[in-house]
A = this chain, B = another copy of it.
Amino acid sequence: MHSESHADAITTQTITPQQVVIGIDIGGTNLRLALADLTGKILTCWSTKTADIFDPADMVQSICIGVNVLLTDPSLAQSKLVALAVGAPGITDAHRGIVIATSYLGGWRDVPLRALLEEALHVPVFVDNDGNMAAFGEYSAGVARTMRDFVFLAVGTGLGAGIMIDGKVHRGVNWLAGEVGYMLVPGTTADPVQNDSPGALEELVGGEGIRQHWRATWKADTTSLNHDASATDIFDAAALGDSLSRSTLDSVARALAYAIYNMALVLNCSHIVLGGSLGLHPGLQAATGAVLQKLNPRVQPTLISSALGGEAQIHGAIHQAIAMARPNPL
C-alpha cells in the first residue's frame, strides 16, 4: 500500500507541461502570433500577410496554422496552451468576443471571432479592439506600468485610442470609447460621417490624410520632396528645414494637440502614451508638445512614447490571455 501511493506520487509528479498563452494581433496587413509563458515572456513568434484574407473562416484557419506551428516547435514539446487573446482592428464587443465592424479585412461586420476560435482551438479566447490591447500592453509590460489612468493614442494610417481608467480598460457602452479619429477640433470639417469614411480628425492627422493634403498643397518650389512623399518623409524633411514639410507638420501637430487637449479636459489623465508609426515620430511629438504647452497652464498631460511600439498590441493580448488563464493574479 505504501509503495502504491509512492508510485502514484511519482506519476503525478512527472513532467508537468509548461503553461503557455498566445497573443495575436490582427492588423490590416499582417497577422502576428506570439507564444509566451505566464510571466509574459515571448518564447516564439509567427506571422503572415492578411492582404487577401477577407473571410473570417480563412482568418480562423490562418490563426490555427500559426498556433500549430508555434506549438510544434521542438523546444515547446512539453507546453500546454491555456488561453489565447486577439486584438482586432475595429469596433469589438469584448464581452461577447464579436468584431462589430472594421474597415480592414474587407469590412467585417458582427464576426463572432471568439466563438469561432474557441470552437477550432478548444481553449478560452478573449477578443478586443487593438487600441485597447495596446493600452493594456503598455500597462502590463510597457511604459505605463505605474499608471492607473492614461490614454494610449495610436497615430498611424488612422487614429485610435485605448483608454485606461483606474487600472481598467474603458470600453464604453457600445465599445466605441476612444474612437477619437472622428473628433471635431478647429480646422476639421464638421460634415456628417459617411459610411466607412475616415474620421474628421484622421483626415488631418492620419497618414493617409496627410498624404492627400500633401498632394493637394504640393508645389515644386516649396519643397525638396516629391509629390507622393509619405507622412514620415514629410516629418523627417521638416526637421531639416524643408518649408512645405514644416508647415504640414505644424498643422498636423496643432490638430493633434487640440485633440489631446480635449481628451485631457474630459478625462484629466496624467499621461498620453503616443504610439503608431507617426505617433512615435520625434518631430511630431515635439511640435505637438509645443502647441499643447501654450494652450492652458492647468491642463498639461505628459506626452510619452510607447515603449513597445508596434509590439504593444501583441503584448496586451499576451497579458489579457494570462489574466484569463490566471484570474486571480499571484
A266 pairs with B180, CB closer than 8 A: yes
Query: How would residues 275 to 303 of chain A score, 1 for a CB under 8 Å from any chain B CB and 0 otherwise?
Result: 00000000000000000001111110000
Nearest-neighbor residue (CB-CB) of A200 within chain B? B186
Inter-chain contacts of A186 with B (CB < 8 A) = 184-190
Q: Does A258 interact with chain B (Cβ within 8 Å)? A: yes
* A69 located at the interface, meaning its Cβ lies under 8 Å from any Cβ of chain B in the complex: no
- Closest Cβ of chain B to A267, distance in Å, is 6
Q: Which residues of B contact A178 (CB under 8 A)?
A: 265-266, 268
How far, in angstroms, from A184 to B176 measured CA to CA in the complex? 21
Question: In the complex the two chains form, is A268's CB within 8 Å of B184's CB?
Answer: no
CB of A269 within 8 A of CB of B193, answer no
Tell me, in angstroms, the Cα distance from A185 to B269 when the chains sit together. 20
**Across the interface, do B268 and A192 meet the contact criterion of CB distance under 8 Å?**
no
Give every chain B residue within 8 A of A175 (Cβ-Cβ): 268
Residues in chain B near residue A193, CB distance under 8 A: 295-298
**CA A190 to CA B264, docked complex, whole Å:** 15
A174 at interface by CB-CB < 8 Å: yes
Which B residues touch A176, using CB under 8 A? Answer: 264-265, 268, 298-299
Determine the chain B residues whose CB is within 8 A of the CB of A263 once the complex forms. 266
Query: A69–B182 Cα gap in the complex (Å)?
Result: 53
- Segment touching B, from A74-82, A165-173, A240-248, A315-323: A165-173
Which residues of the other chain, B, contact A269 by a CB distance below 8 angstroms? 172-173
| Interface contact A268-B179, CB-CB below 8 Å | yes
Q: Give chain A interface residues in 124-161, CB to chain B under 8 Å.
A: 149, 161
Asked whether, in the complex, the Cβ of B268 is within 8 Å of the Cβ of A299, the reply is no
Q: Is A262 an interface residue (CB 8 A)?
A: yes
User: Taking the complex as formed, is A84 at the interface, i.e. its CB lies under 8 A from any CB of chain B?
Assistant: no
- Say yes or no: B184 contacts A266, CB within 8 Å: no
On whether the beta carbons of A182 and B266 are closer than 8 Å, the reply is no
- Residue in chain B with minimal CB distance to A301: B173
Do B299 and A179 touch (CB < 8 A)? Answer: yes
Contact B184 A270 (CB under 8 A): no
Contact partner of A270 among B173, B180, B185, B254, CB < 8 A? B173
Question: With A177-B266, A265-B179, A266-B267 in contact, is A172–B149 under 8 Å at CB?
Answer: yes
Residues of chain B lying within 8 A (CB to CB) of residue A173:
149, 268-270
Chain B residue with the shortest CB-CB distance to A297? B193
A204 to chain B, nearest CB (A): 12
Question: A298 to B176, alpha carbons, bound, how many Å?
Answer: 9
Complex contact B266–A163 (CB within 8 A): yes
CA distance in complex: A166, B170 (Å): 9
Set of chain B residues within 8 Å of A192, measured between Cβ atoms: 294-296
> Which residues of chain B are within 8 angstroms of A53 by Cβ–Cβ distance?
none
- A235 interface contact, C-beta 8 A: no
Given contacts A149-B173, A180-B266, 13 further A-B contacts (CB under 8 A): A172-B267, A173-B269, A174-B268, A175-B268, A176-B264, A179-B298, A182-B265, A184-B262, A184-B295, A186-B187, A190-B258, A192-B294, A262-B262
10 chain-A/chain-B pairs, Cβ below 8 angstroms: A173-B268, A177-B267, A178-B266, A182-B261, A182-B265, A184-B295, A185-B185, A186-B190, A193-B296, A263-B266
